[in-house]
Amino acid sequence: MTGSQLLLYGARRILFIVPVLLVALFLTFALTRVVPGNPIDRVTGPYVSQEHRAELKHQAYLDRPFYEQFAFYLRDLAQGKMGTSYTTAQDVSTDLRQRFPATFELVTYAILLSILIALPLGVLAAIKKDSWIDQIARVVSVLGVSMPIFWLGLILLYIFFYYLDWLPGPVGRTGSVLTSTQPITGFLTVDSLLRGDLGQFGQAWRALVLPCVTLAFVAMAPIARMTRATMAEAMQSDYVRTARSLGLPFRVVVFRYALRNALIPILTIIAAVYGYALGGEVLVEIIFAWPGLGLYSYNAILSSDFPAIQGFVLLVTLLYMMIYLLLDVLTAALDPRVKY
Amino acid sequence: MALLEVRNLRTSFFVRSGELNVLDDVNLEIHQGEIVGLAGETGSGKSVTAYSIMRLLKEPGRVVGGEVVWDGRDLLRVWDSEMEQEIRGKQISMIFQNPREALNPVISVGKQLTRVLEIRRRLAKGEALAEAVRLLRSVHISDAERRLRSFPHELSGGMAQRVMIALALSSHPRLLIADEPTTGLDVTTQYQLVQLLRELRERTGMSILLITHDLALVAELCDRIAVLYAGRIAEMGPVENVFRTPRHPYTSALIASRPRQGMTGEIPTIPGNVANLMNPPDGCRFHPRCPNVRQVCTEQQPPLASMEPGQMVACHNPIAVPIKVAVGG
Amino acid sequence: MATGPLLEERRLTPPGEVVIGAAPVAGRLSDVIYQLRGNPATIAGLAIIGIIVFAATLGPLIARYDPYQINLGEAAQGPSLAHPLGTDQYGEDLLTRVMVAARLDLVMALSAMLLSMAVGVLLGAVAGFFGRFLDEGVMRSQDVLQAFPRFVFAMAVAWALGPGIGTVIVATATINVPGYARLMRNLMLSVKESQFALAAVAVGNPRSRLLWRHLMPNCMTPVIVVATLQCGWAILEAAGLSFIGLGVRVPTAEWGVMISMGLQDFLQGHWWIYTFPGLAIAVAVLGFNLFGDGLQDILDPKRRRA
């Protein structure tokens, strides 16, 4: 597809997202109302008077019919307001904005790391079938999808923090010292460099290692597996046979013919892995006390913080949809057979 | 001196139940500027012969014996790298069945061509582009410049085959192996392709090894024909001779089994089944189905021997009296 | 998707009914055994599943301790002869709890898998078979379900339904439905146009019979493979939900719950409290993955041993 065609394709896909997003919104909203009882009763103790409770309910629109509540929610949403959190007393959107960078940094590095390892591993395993590297790839793949991510995190934490004391414990992004400097990009690893604070730079990295590796190991597995499978298939294909019959060097055959074709299904897997990572990182944040969206949602669940949970699900879903869209457009760019 | 000499080629596939001996003692000769047809039924080992020569055989197949002599060298014993850099694409090229699947689906035709030109003939970008256009024109693809931007899935079967031919010819090979190039194409396109191949031989003196099950194609295009049955050459010789006076009973039966205009009654078929390659018959592999069978056929493998009129036949009891067969029906 | 000879098996039919596309089953078993022999990983997977099921059924019956017996005197003891896997911070024997949890987790995973398979396969078959609006509607609804990141959605559903075994089953099943639906629909679309389907119609099979007796059985093979793998993932999801506190609650003997208990005690360094339940999960899921992969290798003609 040409560049302009791609843009149109992307625009069309974005348009498709809107109805899906609305339905998702509705679903999320409906889910919170499925819970028996109402938020006010669950959050307030027995010492709050009936009138006060009624007042709170009125403020939270809980005395209106369902569709009205939804309408109010949508209206607020359009203004960027997601309701007030019961625990932080801020608007949920503010909460989310504050917690987002931590999660984004963690997930981004984790996915990058997993691609960096899984892709070459898969390619090598496919080329040298049944060699030792193929065995390693297979073992890593099958282990990665079999292990509970929260268990892996705990094991790594135990080995590297408790036992060897090489890396910081589960105390968040900076290992020990809390900083309250204004973020620039939100990425501590980047901001500290920009500010010239090498001490914090090192600390940020050290704190990132374990949670990142945990997430990456699990993300690596399906990518390596898909890469190996599609590469192996590509290497058996007719067009690779043609390329070899023309005497093209092996390097070219592997990268320009096989990998180039195999990349397309691999991209789909990466999108799926990203979705998985968004879920898995909730568990990772809980274990490592990483102050991101995941930990936020966990605390929200524990304290029945309705607006917070709603906001979290919404944001994460939106992120996921955007990543999927991005990868869809990328696939269209790479595969000329995709019809606009 | 022959350009390519295949001697006693033996290839097997090692599968669960044992060794499938697909090629057993195949002998071929191709001279400069010749078009040789390798004909046989499906499963006779035609494509495997081509892959064995090019060393593109895939597991579980392996060449287990024989020689493939090209330019004084035995290709079966050279290094992989030499095969890749010197022989494939440069000296010997190949075109395949299903041309649309045989081209890289995600790269444009032009890019595929220019890449091969840049790598194998070390042309600069601009030169490669010009040469690509020239190549496409030489295989009679109209509107060549625009075609450069097409993708394989946008091409018709015939067009894709021409592109593949252009690719195969890009480094001016001396031998082109064409593996069932016309199968699946409509008759008109087949005809055009045949003309193209002939023209290429006229223009460049290139030799062609045409692998096919279509006898009409062989009759139309080839100078000589080699008939393959169950992994062995049954008969070999100039096309005119073999078609007019087939000496091997199998060849004769093949020719007779082709539907022709004005035929009435049943189409003659060859009785029995294709030889089981896991457990081939003793002696001549065709003997269970042969009308001329004699005792010696069940015991000894007949050697490929010269016979009137200028053919080589592997038969203990070849057809002595010439049978007149309508050629090109 | 594999639609080779293995799929066109003979189905038991009442006399007088014509089933198209039947092929003899004899020799199929030896075939399977041959494939298995070349695939030790698959056998290993099957063996692991066998061990886990065995431990789940028999273990709790022969266990020496009560999984909920609090015994603070023996709290947080490492592995020993008396307690081969150690005890948790309440003195409960871990080996017993791990085995009891095996039963619970397996039951939850199996139920979730069956539920999601039933719903998903039905949706997909109907969508693929009847096509047009039904197809569009079903597929769009699956799109919406798949718009959420899986685990997050499970979290939301589990939270809405409140803690409990049923919640875990429903939440886990919900996120797996779209996978089956899509798979079944695609299979149905391709098999609908196949030769034997047309032949079955030509012989006079009514549509409903066509769908149930002829088309669906031929689509089931890939579904079985996915279902096997699904069992493994369901265990992970169920454990994950319980770990967060959205599924089964403390002090139920469930692998995820046990790991969360281990997390609470983490800084004391009692690694065995969370290591062994996690190991159990990993091994169980590994078994299902190995076996499911092997099944796929066996059933897909392209990947078979020659």
Nearest chain A residue to B166, by CA: A246
Residue A115's pLDDT is 94
pLDDT of residue C22 exceeding 60: no
Q: What is the mean pLDDT of chain C?
A: 79
Give which of C146, C151, C302 to mutate to test A binding, by max A Cβ within 10 Å.
C151
Q: How far apart are CA C176 and CA C120, in angstroms?
A: 8
Rg (CA), chain B: 21
Residue with tokens 């947080």: C76
Bond preceding residue B309 cis, omega within 30 of 0: yes
Do you know the residue count of chain B?
329
Q: Do A241 and B96 touch (CB under 8 A)?
A: yes
Contact with chain A for residue C157, Cβ under 8 A = yes
The pLDDT of B202-221, averaged and rounded, is 91
Q: Do A239 and B101 touch (CB under 8 A)?
A: yes
pLDDT of residue A328 exceeding 80: yes
CA angle C241, C242, C245 (to 5 degrees): 95
Q: How far is CA B185 from the centre of its chain?
A: 17
Q: Which of residues 150-179 of A touch C (CB under 8 A)?
A: 150-152, 154-155, 157-158, 162, 170
Contact with chain C for residue B60, Cβ under 8 A = yes
What is the distance in angstroms between the CA of the first residue and the CA of the last residue of chain A?
Answer: 8
Residue C15's pLDDT is 37
Q: What is the share, in percent, of chain C residues with pLDDT greater than 90?
A: 17
Of A248, A249, A335, the CB nearest to B106: A335
Nearest chain A residue to C236, by CA: A148
Q: How far apart are CA B275 and CA C206, in angstroms?
A: 44
Q: Which of residues 220-239 of A touch B (CB under 8 A)?
A: 236-239
Name which of B205, B208, B139 is nearest B177 in CA terms.
B208
| Residue B312 dihedral angles phi and psi, to the nearest 5° | -115, 130
For residue B102, the chain A residues in CB contact (below 8 A) are 238-239, 241-242
Taking one residue from B and the other from C, the number of pairs with CB-CB distance under 8 angstroms is 6
Do you know the residue count of chain A?
340
Of A28, A151, A313, the CB nearest to C259: A151
Select the more confidently predicted residue: C210 or B290.
B290
pLDDT of residue B209 exceeding 90: yes
Q: Do B153 and A336 touch (CB under 8 A)?
A: yes
pLDDT of residue A43 exceeding 70: no
Strands B305-307 and B224-229: what pairing?
Answer: unpaired
The pLDDT of A40-64, averaged and rounded, is 68
Q: Do C34 and B15 touch (CB under 8 A)?
A: no
Select the more confidently predicted residue: C72 or C176.
C176
Three-state secondary-structure class, residue C2: coil
Give the dihedral sign, CA B43/B44/B50/B56. Answer: positive
Q: Do B60 and C306 touch (CB under 8 A)?
A: yes
Q: Do C305 and B60 touch (CB under 8 A)?
A: no
| Ranges A54-68, B21-35, B94-108: which has the least confidence | A54-68
Amino acid at B302: P
Of A238, A249, A260, the CB nearest to B119: A249
The pLDDT of A267-271, averaged and rounded, is 88
Residue B199's pLDDT is 92
Segment B123-158, tens digit of pLDDT? 898 999 999 999 999 998 988 888 899 899 899 888
Q: What tokens appear for A276 in the block? A: 């998985």
Q: With bands split at pLDDT 50, 70 and 90, how would you rate the model's confidence at A197? A: confident
The set of residues, in sequence order, having a beta carbon less than 8 Å from that of C174 and lying 6+ positions away, is: C116, C145, C153, C154, C157
Q: How far is CA B193 from CA A26, B189, B221, B328, C138, in A?
A: 61, 6, 10, 18, 49
Residues of B with CB under 8 A from a CB of A: 54, 56, 58, 84-90, 93-94, 96, 98, 101-108, 115-116, 119-120, 151, 153, 164, 167-168, 170-171
pTM, 2 dp: 0.82
The pLDDT of C18-46, averaged and rounded, is 60
Give the dihedral sign, CA B311/B315/B316/B322. Answer: negative
Q: Do B15 and C306 touch (CB under 8 A)?
A: yes
Asked whether A102 and A187 are in contact (CB, 8 A), the reply is no
Q: How far is CA A330 from CA A230, B98, B309, C147, C252, in A?
A: 18, 29, 65, 18, 46
Residue with tokens 């135990």: A158
Q: Do B94 and A337 touch (CB under 8 A)?
A: no
Q: How far apart are CA A120 and CA A134, in angstroms?
A: 11
* Beta strand spans in B131-174 (E): none
Q: How far apart are CA A115 and CA A273, in angstroms?
A: 10
Residue B91's pLDDT is 92
For residue C285, the chain A residues in CB contact (below 8 A) are 145-148
Q: How far apart are CA B236 and CA B315, in angstroms?
A: 12
Q: How far is A130 from chain C (nearest CA, A)?
A: 13
Contact with chain A for residue C293, Cβ under 8 A = yes
Q: How far apart are CA B75 and CA B177, in angstroms?
A: 15
Residue A166's pLDDT is 78
What is the distance in angstroms between the CA of the first residue and the CA of the last residue of chain C?
Answer: 19
Q: Do A337 and B58 touch (CB under 8 A)?
A: no
Q: How far is CA A197 from the centre of its chain?
A: 28
Interface ipTM: 0.85
Q: With bands split at pLDDT 50, 70 and 90, how would you rate the model's confidence at C25? A: very low
CB atoms within 10 A of CB B264: 4
The pLDDT of B220-247, averaged and rounded, is 91
Q: How far is C301 from chain B (nearest CA, A)?
A: 15
Q: How far apart are CA C245 and CA C257, in angstroms?
A: 8
Contact with chain A for residue C105, Cβ under 8 A = no
Asked whether A110 and A210 are in contact (CB, 8 A), the reply is no
Residue C10's pLDDT is 31
Nearest chain B residue to C34, by CA: B16
Select the more confidently predicted residue: A125 or C215.
A125
Q: Do A247 and B115 touch (CB under 8 A)?
A: no
Q: What tokens appear for B218 in the block? A: 């062989």
Q: How far apart are CA B159 and CA A55, in angstroms?
A: 77
pLDDT of residue C2 exceeding 90: no
Q: How far is C28 from chain B (nearest CA, A)?
A: 15
Of B58, B90, B104, the CB nearest to A247: B90
Asked whether C238 and C247 are in contact (CB, 8 A), the reply is yes
Contact with chain A for residue C232, Cβ under 8 A = yes
Residue A217's pLDDT is 93
Residue C177's pLDDT is 92
Q: What is the mean pLDDT of chain B?
A: 87
Q: Do B115 and A243 touch (CB under 8 A)?
A: no
Q: With bands split at pLDDT 50, 70 and 90, how would you rate the model's confidence at C7? A: very low
| Residue B306 dihedral angles phi and psi, to the nearest 5° | -70, 145
Rg (CA), chain C: 23
Q: Do B103 and A244 touch (CB under 8 A)?
A: no
Strands B61-70 and B224-229: what pairing?
Answer: unpaired
The pLDDT of C119-133, averaged and rounded, is 86
Q: How far apart are CA A314 and CA A294, in angstroms?
A: 13
Contact with chain C for residue B328, Cβ under 8 A = no
Residue C285's pLDDT is 93
| Residue C132 dihedral angles phi and psi, to the nearest 5° | 50, -125
Residue C14's pLDDT is 37
Three-state secondary-structure class, residue A227: helix
Q: Do A246 and B170 touch (CB under 8 A)?
A: yes
Residue B279's pLDDT is 81
What is the distance in angstroms between the CA of the first residue and the CA of the last residue of chain B?
Answer: 35
Contact with chain B for residue C305, Cβ under 8 A = yes
Q: How far apart are CA A237 and CA C302, in angstroms?
A: 12
Residue B238's pLDDT is 93
Q: What tokens appear for C109 in the block? A: 């995973």
| Ranges A158-162, A309-313, C1-5: which has the least confidence | C1-5
Cross-strand bridge partners of residue B10: B24, B65
Contact with chain A for residue C262, Cβ under 8 A = yes
Q: What is the share, in percent, of chain B residues with pLDDT greater than 70?
A: 97
Residue B259's pLDDT is 75
For residue B84, the chain A residues in CB contact (below 8 A) are 244, 247, 249-250
Of B85, B106, B116, the CB nearest to A334: B106
Of A239, A249, A264, the CB nearest to B104: A239
The pLDDT of C273-297, averaged and rounded, is 89
Q: How far apart are CA A160 and CA A145, in angstroms?
A: 22
Of C147, C240, C269, the CB nearest to A148: C240
Q: Do A287 and C162 touch (CB under 8 A)?
A: no
CB atoms within 10 A of CB A256: 20
For residue B93, the chain A residues in CB contact (below 8 A) are 245-246
Name which of A316, A289, A26, A306 is nearest C152 in CA terms.
A316
Of A154, A312, A320, the CB nearest to C266: A154
Segment B55-69, tens digit of pLDDT? 998 878 899 999 999
Q: With bands split at pLDDT 50, 70 and 90, how would you rate the model's confidence at B42? A: confident
